[in-house]
Amino acid sequence: MIKAKQDVSDILGQNERITQKINKKQAASLQRIVETIEQLTIRMGNRLSETLRRKNEALKQATKRERADPLSTLAPLVSPICLNDDIAFLQLLVKLGRTQDAATAYAGRRSLLLMETLNERPVAGFGSTGTNDVVIY
């Protein structure tokens, strides 16, 4: 989409610099194409931002539920690998010129990871005799 927008804009720019090679109807059509591409770009950026926001919110809610459950597993819910889960979405947002949205989504995911790391439960528990070994399969 970005490439198509650049190509159409180049054609319109060349038409203004050089003698009239395309007629007014074609120029108007190209202008509508540029406007449509801009609208689609905005829509795609909004959807990407909303998807990232929803994923982060779902992870946040799942973390709260997991923390409230005393019988939950010892494995952390958010791993460091999850920072790369949305790399394609983040790169698209940057290419679309929405760096603030990409930074907000990435910062939200990093905050979740940091909170999960800080609240991580120990693998060995403390009993009345000191430390108890936990069997890991």
Q: Higher model confidence: residue 10 or residue 130?
A: 10
Arithmetic mean of pLDDT, 58-84: 68
Q: What is the pLDDT of residues 75-110, one digit of tens each?
A: 555 565 666 778 888 999 998 889 999 999 888 888
Q: Quick one: pLDDT at residue 19?
A: 47
- pTM for this prediction: 0.64
Outline where DSSP puts E strands in 73-136: 125-127, 130-132
Q: What is the rounded average pLDDT for all residues in the chain?
A: 75
Single-letter code of the amino acid located at 21: K
With b meaning 16 or more CB within 10 Å and e meaning fewer, what string describes 84-104? eebeebbebbeebebeebbeb
Q: Alpha carbon 82 to chain centroid distance?
A: 11
* SS3 assignment, position 124: coil
pLDDT confidence bin for 23, thresholds 50/70/90: confident
Q: Quick one: pLDDT at residue 30?
A: 80
Task: Supply angle C-alpha 100, 13, 20, rounded to 5.
Answer: 160
* SS3 assignment, position 18: coil
Q: Higher model confidence: residue 97 or residue 11?
A: 97
Burial of residue 65 (CB within 10 Å: 0-12, 13-18, 19+) is: exposed
Q: Quick one: pLDDT at residue 58?
A: 86
